[in-house]
Structure 1
Amino acid sequence: MSANSFSAFAGPGDAARAADLRRVKILAGLVLLFSFAVFIAARMLLPVHPAFGFVAAFAEAATIGGLADWYAVVALFRRPLGLPIPHTAIIQANQAVIADKLGEFIETHFLDAAPVEAKLREVDFASFVADWLGDRKRSADLARFVLRLLPEAMSATETSGLKTFVIRRVMTQLQSVDLAPLIAGTARDFIKDARHTGLLDGLLGAVHGALTQPETVAVIKDKIRDELPTLLKLYRADAFLVKRIVASATTFFDDVRKDPAHPFRGEFDSMLLSVVEKLESEPGVIDRIHGFKRDLLARPELAELGQALWSNTRGFIERNASGESSVLAHHLANVFVEAGAALAADEEMRREINQGVVVVLRSFIAEQKSGVSGFIAEQVKAWDMRQLIGVIELNIGRDLQYIRFNGSLIGGLAGLVLYTIEVLLRLN
């Protein structure tokens, strides 16, 4: 692994930490030399006064403690003085074991279902999505990205046969739709909500308008004249009858339109309900509706219409994707922004989305955690341990050097106590 492999560990304060580590190492070495020098001086002055024995004992034990802790700290990372002493350079010698144990530890304690789910539940994924979509620039960028993908997606749909499959599935579903109950139910709701009254008024108005047209009057007049005896034709009975028919029809239509309770309205309702009942119960009517549906779906014009719609849609998308038109991008961006606003305002929807994301991620992590631990172990095994040890020592080496200070102090105190006990035993 190259020297740049651990660049991610480097920080802006590394130079200061390295200088501080050097100072602490020098200070720890000076403490060790000072302890040794005090020990030599105290042993030389021991004949002068017995008190120097206590000083010598403290300094001797402090020197030994400092040396022992220096050895322990160095042996953790490398071989002391480069000598091939067993059980030294512990981290380097156990790189593979450390890698495997680190992977197992992360899998067991970090990727276990309970802590993973607890951590995932702390994250409000839906609010993040809502805020992200609420930014118009981001939504516009997303719209442009989606538009760039759509032409390729449509081409892939055609070449992969997905388009044919979808068309067949749609046609199969349409063939399976039972139109009779659907039409009957819609008609019942139409009648129940009294929306058919407007239909009746419209029909009456259309019929009345057609009857009063000069062309219609002329046709009726000709038909009546053809049926009348010759004698009545001489007295122009046809004109009289046409006038009476139009006048009667006009009066009838006006009465029905003005009177909500007119008997004809009841007859019209009964007629519609009768048609609805036939749709629901008469096999012949149901079969005719099914036949009409089959004939309609089998018409080649319907396939041509679908192909034309597909071609027009594809052309429209390609024009927008190429930048020739920005209509679709603008509307897509608006859709994304509105979706973000709607999601931000709908707490229940956000809760459901977060729950769904937690379930998906929890399952995914549970399935992949063994692979993650194996990947971590492989990466650690591939590290250049000398460089990694340099990084570790740079970050925690200062604290490790204080072990040497503590070793000298604790060792010196222990030596002083033992020497004191020895002196007391000699006095007794």
Structure 2
Amino acid sequence: MSQSSPALASARFDADAEVKLSALRRTKFVATAALALCVLIFAVTKSFEGHYPWLGFVAAFAEAATIGGLADWYAVVALFRRPLGLPIPHTAIIPENQSRIADNLGRFIEVNFLAPEPVREKLAEVDFSALVADWLADPNRAADLSHFVGRLVPQTLAAIEQSGLRGFVSSRMLEQIEKVPLAPLAAELLSAVTDDRRHQRLFDEFTKVVGRFLSDEQALATMREKIREELPSLFNLFRADAYLLKKIVASAGSLLDEVRADPDHPMRAEFDRFVLSFVERLRTSKQYAKRAEKLKRDFLARPELKALAGDMWESLSVFIEQDAKAPNSMIRAHLANMFVEVGRHLAGDPQIRADMNQGFIVALSSFVENQKSGVSKFIADQVKRWDLAQLTRLIEMNIGRDLQYIRFNGMVIGGLAGVVLHTVERLFLVD
């Protein structure tokens, strides 16, 4: 079907051209016949004017109509060719001025059709965002787009690797991280945690850890051994170490239970004061800031970090390449779903669509503004390359029939003018 379309379009063009040429020939014939009729009427009426004076009006009409018809015939023919082949100046206007017509046409289109305001007004009539949203929301199109993007991913990774972009990005990221003051950043993060006392959850976890420690047999045995070493030998004879350990564990356990059960326990308040004081020191203390910066620099300078980043990049690259080649690629599936969701969200958000349309208008109007001189030159060059005979034939075929009616109008207007002048002559100039 696609192969036969150009041939079909050409056949239709040829048929339309033939119809226009036939109509033009008929109009030319009728106009020429009318001119010949005027000449014949003039000759006949002049012959019998002496016997029938009223024929003078008819003769005057025919004479002036003949002159008007001839003048308009000359004007119409002079547009396309030299009348009777004679080298008369200012004839064959279109063929002789092809280059100037081409330049003026290109400049006319540039100034009137590609001016900023008309272009923006025309672009504003198109809802580009709706077209994008409808296109993306179609699952088949989204799948095709994800396949296209998936095929580009391995080449993109290879290009990044070969161009040294990965190293450049890594170094730039490290430079930016080094510029970020760590202590104030940590203070802000901790402040976000302490705003709604979420740090108390950490305190609760700490009490649970201590409670588990106090119930661990091995830990208790170690504590008892330490107590035995500190007590005099006499006390050990009476198992005072076991008694003290039991009292210590019981008291500590009871205290931890009280702390966990009471959200307003003094120990919690003390923990609040400690955390808030630490956050404030992080935010304001120069000593803390120096320590944090030294810790950051030492961490960033460790070779293990660079090796870890390289390993992560390699692993990510291998995974992406393998997944992109897989028949059931997870990346392509997620991309397709993402494109569909983007299309649906875009269709349902008029504000984003309006912003997108405005962006399209600005971008496309700027492109047209930058390229319109090239468009003007392209049009002018194309018109200059046209074959003169074909150009003349094309213009005459499309507007020649209307131009032939000028000949009819010239004969009618000329004839009426002739009658008026003859009347004036009869009334005022003849005794």
Does TM, normalized by the shorter one, top 0.5?
Answer: yes
Aligned to 2:417: 414
The alignment's C-alpha RMSD in Å is 2.7
Structure 1 57/320 Cα, relative in aligned 2: closer, same or farther at 3 Å?
A: farther
Looking at structure 2, the residues matched to 187 and 11 of structure 1 have their Cα atoms a distance apart, in angstroms, of: 81
Looking at structure 2, the residues matched to 61 and 343 of structure 1 have their Cα atoms a distance apart, in angstroms, of: 72
Match of 1:310 among 313, 316, 320: 313
Aligned to 1:195: 198
Looking at structure 1, the residues matched to 127 and 199 of structure 2 have their Cα atoms a distance apart, in angstroms, of: 50
Aligned to 1:19: 22
Structure 1 268/39 Cα, relative in aligned 2: closer, same or farther at 3 Å?
A: same
Aligned to 2:88: 85
SS at match of 2:52: coil
Aligned-pair distance for 1:167?
1.4
Q: Which residue identity does 1:251 align to in structure 2? A: S
Q: Which residue identity does 2:196 align to in structure 1? A: D
Q: Which residue identity does 1:16 align to in structure 2? A: V
Are 1:63 and 2:66 an aligned pair? yes
Match of 1:378 among 381, 388, 393: 381
Q: Which residue identity does 1:250 align to in structure 2? A: G
SS at match of 1:50: coil
Aligned to 2:173: 170
Q: Which residue identity does 1:416 align to in structure 2? A: V
Aligned to 1:221: 224
SS at match of 1:85: coil
Aligned-pair distance for 1:272?
0.8
Aligned-pair distance for 1:183?
0.5
Q: Which residue identity does 1:57 align to in structure 2? A: A
Contact 1:113 1:366 in 2 (8 A): yes
Aligned-pair distance for 1:48?
4.6
Match of 2:110 among 103, 107, 127: 107
Match of 2:282 among 279, 283, 288: 279
Contact 1:24 1:398 in 2 (8 A): yes
Stretch moving more, 67-76 or 49-58? 49-58
Q: 1:239-318 to 2 correspondence within 5 Å?
A: 239-318=242-321
* Paired residues, number: 424
Structure 1 233/14 Cα, relative in aligned 2: closer, same or farther at 3 Å?
A: farther
Looking at structure 2, the residues matched to 232 and 10 of structure 1 have their Cα atoms a distance apart, in angstroms, of: 121
Are 1:148 and 2:151 an aligned pair? yes
Looking at structure 2, the residues matched to 144 and 232 of structure 1 have their Cα atoms a distance apart, in angstroms, of: 82
SS at match of 1:193: coil
Structure 1 256/385 Cα, relative in aligned 2: closer, same or farther at 3 Å?
A: farther
Stretch moving more, 108-117 or 160-169? 108-117
Aligned to 2:322: 319
Q: Which residue identity does 2:23 align to in structure 1? A: D
Q: 1:231-242 to 2 correspondence within 5 Å?
A: 231-242=234-245
Looking at structure 2, the residues matched to 149 and 238 of structure 1 have their Cα atoms a distance apart, in angstroms, of: 73
Are 1:404 and 2:413 an aligned pair? no
Stretch moving more, 64-73 or 368-377? 368-377
Aligned-pair distance for 1:398?
2.0
SS at match of 2:70: helix
CA deviations 1:377-418 (Å, max 9, x no partner) are 222222223222322222222211211221121122222222
Stretch moving more, 65-74 or 121-130? 121-130
Looking at structure 2, the residues matched to 337 and 13 of structure 1 have their Cα atoms a distance apart, in angstroms, of: 46
Aligned to 2:130: 127
Contact 1:147 1:317 in 2 (8 A): no
Aligned to 1:205: 208
Q: Which residue identity does 2:360 align to in structure 1? A: V
Are 1:345 and 2:359 an aligned pair? no
Aligned-pair distance for 1:68?
1.9
Q: Which residue identity does 2:314 align to in structure 1? A: S
Looking at structure 1, the residues matched to 388 and 198 of structure 2 have their Cα atoms a distance apart, in angstroms, of: 83
Structure 1 373/223 Cα, relative in aligned 2: closer, same or farther at 3 Å?
A: same
Percent identity between the two aligned chains: 52
Stretch moving more, 175-184 or 374-383? 374-383
Aligned to 1:390: 393
Q: Which residue identity does 2:348 align to in structure 1? A: A
Aligned to 1:185: 188
Looking at structure 2, the residues matched to 276 and 168 of structure 1 have their Cα atoms a distance apart, in angstroms, of: 31
Structure 1 11/157 Cα, relative in aligned 2: closer, same or farther at 3 Å?
A: farther
Looking at structure 2, the residues matched to 197 and 161 of structure 1 have their Cα atoms a distance apart, in angstroms, of: 47
Are 1:137 and 2:140 an aligned pair? yes
Structure 1 28/313 Cα, relative in aligned 2: closer, same or farther at 3 Å?
A: farther
Looking at structure 2, the residues matched to 272 and 421 of structure 1 have their Cα atoms a distance apart, in angstroms, of: 117
CA deviations 1:273-327 (Å, max 9, x no partner) are 1211221233332222111111211122221222222223322332344344421
Structure 1 14/238 Cα, relative in aligned 2: closer, same or farther at 3 Å?
A: farther
Aligned to 2:331: 328
Looking at structure 1, the residues matched to 245 and 20 of structure 2 have their Cα atoms a distance apart, in angstroms, of: 113
